[in-house]
Structure 1
Amino acid sequence: MKPFDESMLVKTKEYIEEYQRRRGIVPSLRKIMRDNEGFFGVSISKVQRYVLELNRRGQLNYDKNEGIRGSEKLLAGKTKPIPMVGECACGDPILAVENIVATYSLPEELFGPSDHFMLRAKGLSMIEKGINDGDIMVVRHQNTAEIGDIVIARLNGEEATAKIYSKENGKYLLKPANSSIHEDGSPQYSDIIPEGEWEILGVVDSVIHRFK
């Protein structure tokens, strides 16, 4: 029998591990073949032979009936704890509840190493930016923002709201993303002109939305 190509054994193992890290599932033999066609051609049996050899060497777990078994360590990937600190208005400002109500582990590959916290959106003023009532906003903690960012701003030391950070005629504005109007033609959601003491708590990085 033809000897194994050691470099291809290494490449096959690395491919399987990277696939697990990125997708959260293990690849099928056919998927391995298609993505490495330059070596395996269209031979499933050749892929299986290499996978069986990796299994024999203890470098992965393969069962001919169940296929490649995923490594729990690889499937989990590197995670980071992110605290949920309450609710934030997507409408009129509400009191920011800043006690940690829960902590969740989220993939660092998706959210990066920056300091984050989570808030649950309350209201409909940001729906045109894809933030619905009840969604979870993953917020990168920082005190500065670029014009156009979706920020979490604290007003008057207590109230917090999620809005688009904007500037017009030399004044900073917190703008909604909902163009709905009342019957009289007036907007349902108005710009907020921060007055008095206010600060940016963070910039919304991602939104976790659950389909009903």
Structure 2
Amino acid sequence: MFITKRQKEIYQYLKDHIRDKGYAPSIAEIGKQFKLSSPATVHKHLVHLESKGLILKHQHLSRAIEIVDERSIDVSPREYTVLGHIVAGKPIEVLENREVMSFLPDPGNTNVFVLRVKGNSMIEDHIKDGDYVIVEKRDSANNGETVVALLENERATLKRFYKEADGVRLQPANPNMSPIFLRQGDFKIQGVVIGVMRKF
């Protein structure tokens, strides 16, 4: 389960508001609390929380937000250092930095790292420039999975993985960009993408 720090804050605000007043805050109240001028942005956060099973929204009813039974849900965020940038267009070296992201990992799956995406070669897979990809550390992948592949032990790239008769194909999700064909031994899989985060 992955939610951003802001979504965690909104979730906590919903809990506190319902506990203290007996009903959920309105979209406008949530926006005011977090200085979000666009109701659409608030709505996106709520949709994400509902998709993760943390809240339940009743359509067409004002303030109709319920907190799902949280006894089985660990909502304590964990902090992960963003290891660097990965270009989704052309391979580059992974750049070191100290940016920290706070999110909720899948229960029992903490063997992950985070990279920030540069470029739009994976745009048709809804991975955009500036997004963060959550990567499970693995040294193998299945056909069609999006991988972080290390080339020549120096450069990393983000592509879909496909096995070919004489090697592998790293396929961008952008019709304007060409795939990368490699022989076994010319690359190393660092991990498989299991989630994407976007800051609003």
Question: Shorter-chain TM-score: which interval?
Answer: 0.5 to 0.7
| 2:92 matched residue in structure 1 | 94
**Native 8 Å contact 2:115 2:132 kept in 1:** yes
1:4-43 alignment to 2 at 5 Å? 24=12, 25-26=14-15
- The higher radius of gyration belongs to 1
Is 1:208 the counterpart of 2:192? The answer is no
The verdict on how the C-alpha distance between 1:121 and 1:111 changes in structure 2, with shifts beyond 3 A counting, is farther
Q: Percent same amino acid at aligned positions? A: 32
User: Which structure 2 residue ranges, 5 or more long, are not aligned?
Assistant: 1-7, 25-66
Instruction: State the superposition RMSD in angstroms.
Output: 3.2
CA distance in 1 between partners of 2:107 and 2:179 (Å): 30
User: 1:58-207 alignment to 2 at 5 Å?
Assistant: 62-63=19-20, 66-67=21-22, 77-97=75-95, 99-108=96-105, 110=106, 112-180=108-176, 189-195=177-183, 197-207=186-196
Report the CA distance shift for 1:200/1:121 in structure 2 as closer, same or farther (over 3 A): same
Q: CA deviation at 1:210?
A: 3.5
Contact kept? 1:26, 1:68, Cα under 8 Å = no
Residue 167 (structure 1) shift: 1.6
CA displacement, residues 120-176 of structure 1 (integer Å, 9 cap, x when unaligned): 111111001010111111111111111111000010011100000002234211111
Which runs of no fewer than 5 residues in structure 1 stay unpaired? 1-19, 30-61, 181-188
Shift of 1:105: 2.6
Q: CA deviation at 1:67?
A: 2.6
Count the aligned residue pairs: 144
8 Å Cα contact 2:148-2:191 kept in structure 1: yes
Q: Deviations over 1:45-94 (max 9, x none)?
A: xxxxxxxxxxxxxxxxx54xx23799xx9898233332201110111111
User: In structure 2, do the counterparts of structure 1 residues 82 and 175 end up closer, same or farther at CA, with 3 Å as the change threshold?
Assistant: same
Determine which structure has greater relative contact order: mean sequence separation of CA pairs < 8 Å that are 6+ residues apart, divided by chain length. Answer: 2
CA deviations on 1:186-211 (whole Å, 9 max, x unpaired) are xxx11111255320111111111235
**1: CA distance, partners of 2:17 / 2:85:** 42
Distance 2:108 2:126 in 1: 21
Q: Give the letter for the 1:198 counterpart.
A: F
SS in 1 for 2:189: strand
Contact 1:85 1:118 in 2 (8 A): yes
TM-score between the two structures when normalised by the length of structure 1 = 0.58
Report SS of the residue matched to 1:193: strand
